[in-house]
Every structure is written in C-alpha cells, then in structure tokens.
Amino acid sequence: MPDEHRTAATRPASNEAATLAVYVWRGDAGGGAEQRFDVPKQDSQTVLDVVTWIQQQADASLTYRFACRVGMCGSCAMMVNDEPRWTCRTHVERVASDGELHIAPLRNLPVIKDLVTDMDPFFDKWVKAEAVHHPSAGRADGFAAVTPDDPQRIEASAGIECINCAICYAACDTVAGNPDYLGPAALQRAWTLYNDSRDGGGDAILDAVSQSGGCHSCHSMGSCSHYCPNDLDPMGAIAGLKLATTKRFFGRGKGGGRS
C-alpha cells in the first residue's frame, strides 16, 4: 500500500472537508442504533484513531476494545462500512466512502456493549476443534528436530501467524447460517497442529473436525482468506482437513491419522 507509506510532507493537501461523518453502532445485547459523530480528519488516521477520538473527546461512555495498536494482538477488529477489519491498521482514507464511516461490532458474535463483542463462542470453538496442543513428549525428552523445509512443517508454518482477531469468523457466511460451525480460525489452528510433528493428537483432531459443524460444513466461499489481515489462507487449511479426513475415511491415513 504505497499510499500508507507517504509522509505528511508529500501527501496532497486535500482535506477540503475537515471532518468525517462517523456513524457508530451504540447499544447492547438488547439492540441498538447508529449514532453520528463528526470527527476531525487527520493525515494517516486509522479507524482505531477515529474511535479513540470519539471516546476521548466526544463521548467517554463509548465502549470498544484494543491493546497493541500495531496489528499484533487481534483485539480491535470491528465492522467498518460493513466489512470486518483490524481497525488499528486500517487507514480511514482507504475505506471511507464519501467521507463517511460506519463502524459496528464484529458480525456473528454476541454484542456486549457498543463495539465490544463477546468472544467466548469464538474461542470455545477452538477447544471444540481440538485446536489445543496434545503433548507427544515429556520434559525428559530431547528437543524435537523441526526441519523448516519439511512439507508438513511448511503447512503448519503457513497458519501460525493467526492473531485470533475473529475477522475471518465475522466474514464467514457459513458461520452466519450455521451457529454450530466451528469457523475458519479454529479449523485453521486444528490444521496447523495436525501438521506439527510435536503434536500427538492427529486422530483426536480429525475426530473433532468431523463432527457436526466441522470442516465439512465449509462451502469454500473464501471470505476468510479474502479478509484475513495477515494474508493467511484458512480456506486452504480447511481443504487440507477435508482431504485428511477423507483419506482416513478410506483407511489411507497413517501415523496417528497423518498422511
């Protein structure tokens, strides 16, 4: 994104309209509505900057969630003009439509208040997908040799930069239609662990992702991979799980279900 790297000095002095019309969803689990705030425009302003300005300058009761501000913690995801985005790394000038921003809590998750959603269903599904470490060695054992160019390790490494932001979960239409669906992030984590030579739960993972709402519910629409802010490919990971479960179904899996 070359635009985002331009300095203030080289940026065209546009800013004819000095304010942004920002519509923020206010409410709780019982319902709510958009509230308009006029926020001063600034160079290199992020959507999180806008929300922070509102909370600090206009209405201290606005509730939202953030931590690192640099795209590492995954806590500031919101719907921005109806698309899920990591707000700390999303520049206003890239997403504002006619000088307007509509900011809402993440889709597919219950709202607690304003822009804060309850993430419990999202993380509960990680556990349900067996996306947890299954130790295969104890402290007395030596270090596991991990070869970076091993094909299975390459599959595992492809998914390890997930920051648990739930943007894929909010983007997924299958989650919207099927509340039991485990979702792209949990399934991708399961696929990562399945391919990790240090994880001893291959069969437990395949059992978990074969249950109702598991990887076979995915319709490969690809919103998860499209919206992932870290350019990961949950849809590809889910395809890997489908293939691994199919191989095991026909008795072609080996070594703890791995192939």
Partner 1 sequence: MTELRLYMAQRLTALIMAPLVIGHIAVMIYAVQGGLSAGEILGRTRGSLFWALFYGSFVAAVSIHATIGIRTILSEWAGLRGTLLNGVCIGLCAVLLVMGGRAVMAVTFA
Which of 165, 173, 163 has its CA nearest to residue 117? 165
Nearer to partner 1, 101 or 218 (CB): 218
Residues β-bridged to residue 86: 77
d(C-alpha 209, C-alpha 150), whole Å: 24
**Cβ 129 to partner 1, closest distance in Å?**
13
**Cβ 77 to partner 1, closest distance in Å?**
24
Nearer to partner 1, 249 or 254 (CB): 249
Nearer to partner 1, 59 or 173 (CB): 173
Nearer to partner 1, 50 or 168 (CB): 168
- 3-state secondary structure (DSSP) of residue 217: helix
Give one DSSP letter per residue of 157-188, joined into a string: HHTTT-----HHHHH-HHHHH-TT---HHHHH
**Cβ 242 to partner 1, closest distance in Å?**
8
d(C-alpha 60, C-alpha 235), whole Å: 39
User: Tokens standing for 105?
Assistant: 């809590």
Nearer to partner 1, 57 or 246 (CB): 246
**Cβ 204 to partner 1, closest distance in Å?**
14
**Cβ 222 to partner 1, closest distance in Å?**
17
User: Tokens standing for 151?
Assistant: 């094909």
Are 217 and 210 in contact, with CB atoms under 8 Å apart? Answer: no
**Cβ 178 to partner 1, closest distance in Å?**
5
Interacting residues with partner 1 (CB under 8 A): 174, 177-178, 207, 210-214, 216-217, 242, 245-246, 249
Which of 30, 26, 17 has its CA nearest to residue 54? 26
Nearer to partner 1, 59 or 249 (CB): 249
Nearest-10 crossing angle of helices 120-128, 184-194 = 30
